[in-house]
Each structure stands twice: as C-alpha cells, then as structure tokens.
Amino acid sequence: MNTNSQLNSTHLHSSTPSQTTTQHKSLTMGYGTLENGDWLMVGMSIFSKDRSVELRMQDDGKLAIYYNNRCAWQSTDQQISNAKGAIMQGDGNLCIYDKNGKATWHTNTAAPSGDNKTFLSVQDDGNLVLYKNGGATPIWSSKSNK
C-alpha cells in the first residue's frame, strides 16, 4: 500500500455483516487506496494520486470527498458524535464504526465468504470506487465524478 505513514498497532474488531473477527491496522494518512484491514480514523485523509481529490473521515462520523474546495459527496446525512473511523473490511465491505464498535454506515458489499482482494480507490476523477478481484471488478461507487 502506498502511504505516507502507518501505525503498527493491531486491533481486533468484529466484521459486519459476517461477524468474523479480523485484525487490521490503522492508517494515518496516505495516497490512493484503502486495502483490506486499513482504517481511516477520524480526522485523517487519503488523497487521489494527483492529490486533487481528498477522502476525509470527519469527526461528525461522515466519510466525505472534497475537490475544488467543496464537499462533493458524503456517506450519510446522519451525524455521529462518537465516530471512530472507517475500515475496509476483509469481507469486502467498507464500514464506518463508532467508538462502541457499532457499524453506523456501510457499502453493503460484503461477500458471504469474504473477499481479501477488495480495496477502495480515491480516483483522480473525483470518484470513490470499491474494486474486487484485485481491481478487476468495480462493485460500488460514490458517483461523485468531477
């Protein structure tokens, strides 16, 4: 994974909806992608390769895409006061969790047997896309193109 820095701590968390226990690492800031097990914690961002598009995990519990100094997309209209962050789970689902371990939003892309080759891409065109099969197949999109 192409990141600026990464915490080496390991956490245990229950995956939704498959309820399997997985290990994952926390991402502090990087470029382009979230891979299986990567967290984007509140207050952190990742950027498209050309750095024109930012995916930000906001303290109000929303994932948001910013470009041209404006918010182009948000994961939800709900505000969550105790948000922890978003994780690209090993089952193929991108989820936002609160500090109590409750999933507050997800992409509903979990595969019954998991998909350890799923990743989230922040694209230069302003779109946020989940790919499976190592990038061969898009399975979800924010539809937030520039």
Q: What is the full DSSP assignment across 42-95?
A: EEEEEE-TTS--EEEE-TTS-EEEEETTEEEEES-S---TTEEEEEE-TTS-EE
pLDDT digits (tens, 9 = 90+) for 69-98: 899 999 999 888 899 999 999 899 999 999
At 87, which amino acid appears? Answer: I
Lowest mean pLDDT across 55-64, 95-104, 134-143:
134-143
- Measured over the CA atoms of residue 86, residue 116, residue 129 and residue 110, the dihedral's sign is negative
Average pLDDT along the chain: 80
Q: Which domain does 122 fall in, by range?
A: 28-141
Any domain includes 114: yes
Say how many domains are in the chain.
1
pLDDT at 22 over 50: no
Percent share of the chain, pLDDT over 70? 77
What's the whole-model pTM score? 0.77
Question: For residue 103, what is the domain's CATH number?
Answer: 2.90.10.10
**100 three-state secondary structure:** coil
What's the longest Cα–Cα distance across the chain?
Answer: 40
Confidence of residue 112 (pLDDT cuts 50, 70, 90): confident
Report d(CA 66, CA 144) in Å as an integer.
10
